[in-house]
Amino acid sequence: MWNYRVMLKDGQLAVHEVFYDDEGRINNWSVEPVFPRGDEIEDLVSEFERYQRALTEPVLDYAALEVESECRRK
C-alpha cells in the first residue's frame, strides 16, 4: 500500500510517496518530492485529491524516518 504524505526534509515541507508494509508500518518513501502529472485532466484531478488527503495527515520527519529505518536494519 502507498499514499502521499507531507514530509519535512531539510527545513522544507513537500509531498512524497510513502509505502507501507502489511502491518501498516512505513517501510519506504520517495527521496525526492513528487509532482502532479497525468495524461488526462481527470488524472490530475485524482492526483490533487490524493495530495489533499496528504494535507490532513500528520507531517512526517524525513530524518527521523531514516534513523528509524536504519535501526530496524540492524
Per-residue model confidence (pLDDT) at position 21:
94
- Cα separation, 46 vs 41, in Å, equals 9
Paired with 60 in beta bridges are 7
- Cα separation, 27 vs 70, in Å, equals 11
- CA nearest 34: which of 44, 23, 21? 44
Contact 1, 54 (CB under 8 A): no
- Cα separation, 64 vs 70, in Å, equals 10
**pLDDT under 70 in the chain at which residues?**
74
Per-residue model confidence (pLDDT) at position 74:
67
Domains of the chain: total: 1
Per-residue model confidence (pLDDT) at position 69:
78
Q: Which domain holds residue 8?
A: 2-73
